[in-house]
Amino acid sequence: PRDTVDVVIVGSGGAGFSAAISATDSGAKVILIEKEPVIGGNAKLAAGGMNAAWTDQQKAKDIKDSPESMYKDTMKGGRNLNDPALVEILTSHSKASVDWMTKMGADLNDVGRMGGASANRAHRPTGGAGVGAHVVQVLYDNAVKRDIDLRMNTRGIEVLKDDDGKVKGILVKGMYKGYYWVKADAVVLATGGFAKNNDRVASLDPKLKGFISTNQPGAVGDGLDVAQNAGGALKDMQYIQAHPTLSVKGGVMVTEAVRGNGAILVNREGKRFVNEITTRDKASAAILGQTGKSAFLIFDDSVRKSLSKINKYIGLGVAPTADSLVKLGKMEGIDGKALTETVARYNSLVASGKDTDFERPNLPRALNEGNYYAIEVTPGVHHTMGGVMIDTKAEVVNAKKQVIPGLYGAGEVTGGVHGANRLGGNAISDIVTFGRLAGEEAAKYSKKN
């Protein structure tokens, strides 16, 4: 029958699509449901990159890196509150995940630096275009190729179980069909996070009350309730990440890669105040400490040319430009004289190869080419680290760490991979690696049941 399959996957972001494809390739028949009228979730908005170590792409560029180094950076970034076993999977599978995506047609040849990383390991399309949109497009094309049954406007409501507590599918609500039961031996929850739900966010972290969010409208966390009602335990819910650089003018998120590629952050007084590529929590706190609770990303044409994404910001009108720093300062209300001195000082640090002012670990280029740009930025809620507890097979577990037979979780809906703070570039890595793992494991499980 139409509504009976081996594995049903809830959510069409990167985790959901990865799970659907890998379950299909493992021999399972699947249905993928999505409550919104569009695919891709937050995954398609991701701009920074896909973190991975020991990849062919890194080798081609002579970048020295290792899964151990990625492991250490991820744990440190997460304030060591991450689940080490999950981080081990994230990092040791990262190359395989990049290869998997590449084999399916992705271009992940550009490798850049993101905050908290001790090597260039954020993989993205040539020219630096948005990695999330590309990854989602490749996954979607591959789902279509496999004739995967994708049902839009269909919300997962409640996991259904038999008397032994084994998953038997999920009650869904289709926009036109109403409520019906999709029968399956395994359910993969890939419903993303809840950053767009400010009531829920503020109830867990009152400091974030009223913050704007970078997320798509579906990121309200109803999947967490589905998991919890099915017996899944939630963990780390209080860890909610503000992305340090949301454009004040347009509300768009400005990727960390702008800083990674060389932009500096200055305040209204025209002064630098932080290592620009520190972790997101520290950068956010530093920006909120400045006059007007905002700061400016300052860069030149050499940075613009290094990252095609920047043309988008210019196109959106959020990156005013001028041929001198004094003019730029006048336009944006920044002390232009101080700004000129700050940039000159920064350029001398670049020339010396060491940032003795703020210990910024990478100094990719001096800012002295062509026009200058300023993007005013402030932090917004970006990612929710907490979520459903899973084990190393992506099985959802209860508070006693007992597996709920047939229930799997992957991506932002889960907690544990990122600890208290997620590093930029680790989300795409997470959703591909754990989505793929959940799909494989769910397919295997459904064969036995």
Catalytic residues: 280
20 binds ligand ADP (CB under 6 A): no
Region binding ligand ADP by CB under 6 A among candidate stretches 219-227, 295-303, 340-348, 415-423: 219-227
CB of 352 to ligand ADP, least distance (A): 40
Q: Which is nearer to ligand ADP, 216 or 261 (CB)?
A: 216
Checking phi first, is residue 10 left (phi over 0); if not, alpha (psi -120 to 50) or beta?
Answer: beta
190 binds ligand ADP (CB under 6 A): yes
Contact 335/266 with Cβ under 8 angstroms? no
Question: Cα 109–113–116 angle (5° rounding)?
Answer: 140
Q: Which is nearer to ligand ADP, 160 or 338 (CB)?
A: 160
416 binds ligand ADP (CB under 6 A): no
13 binds ligand ADP (CB under 6 A): yes
Please report which helix (H) or strand (E) contains residue 397, including its range. strand 395-397
Region binding ligand ADP by CB under 6 A among candidate stretches 31-39, 62-70, 92-100, 237-245: 31-39
95 binds ligand ADP (CB under 6 A): no
CB of 201 to ligand ADP, least distance (A): 15
12 binds ligand ADP (CB under 6 A): yes
33 binds ligand ADP (CB under 6 A): yes
Checking phi first, is residue 221 left (phi over 0); if not, alpha (psi -120 to 50) or beta?
Answer: left
Alpha helix positions (H), 255-399: 257-260, 280-288, 301-306, 309-315, 325-332, 336-352
11 binds ligand ADP (CB under 6 A): yes
* Closest of 378, 258, 380 to residue 309, by C-alpha: 258
241 binds ligand ADP (CB under 6 A): no
CA distance 64 to 119: 7
Cross-strand partners of 263: none
Strand ranges in 149-194 using DSSP code E only, listed in sequence order: 149-151, 154-161, 167-174, 178-183, 186-189
* Closest of 337, 297, 294 to residue 320, by C-alpha: 297
Q: Which residues contact 24 (CB under 8 A, 6 or more apart)?
A: 30, 146, 148, 439, 443
CB of 316 to ligand ADP, least distance (A): 22
Region binding ligand ADP by CB under 6 A among candidate stretches 4-12, 84-92, 227-235, 356-364: 4-12
Q: Which is nearer to ligand ADP, 11 or 380 (CB)?
A: 11
Among 34, 256, 335, 440, binds ligand ADP (CB under 6 A): 34
Checking phi first, is residue 224 left (phi over 0); if not, alpha (psi -120 to 50) or beta?
Answer: alpha
Please report which helix (H) or strand (E) contains residue 19, including its range. helix 14-25
CB of 442 to ligand ADP, least distance (A): 15
Q: Which is nearer to ligand ADP, 114 or 413 (CB)?
A: 413
Region binding ligand ADP by CB under 6 A among candidate stretches 88-96, 314-322, 365-373, 406-414: 406-414
386 binds ligand ADP (CB under 6 A): no
CA distance 241 to 380: 8
Q: Which is nearer to ligand ADP, 10 or 404 (CB)?
A: 10
CB of 279 to ligand ADP, least distance (A): 20
15 binds ligand ADP (CB under 6 A): yes
Alpha helix positions (H), 296-397: 301-306, 309-315, 325-332, 336-352
CB of 394 to ligand ADP, least distance (A): 12
What the block records as the tokens of 356 is 């003795």
Cross-strand partners of 187: 8, 407
CA distance 99 to 351: 37
Please, what is the angle between helix 131-145 and helix 426-448, to 10°? 20
Region binding ligand ADP by CB under 6 A among candidate stretches 94-102, 185-193, 315-323, 348-356: 185-193
The contact pattern for ligand ADP, residues 136-175, with x = CB under 6 A and - = no contact, is -------------------xx-------------------
Which residues contact ligand ADP by CB under 6 A?
10-16, 33-36, 41-43, 155-156, 190-192, 218-219, 222-223, 226, 411-413, 431
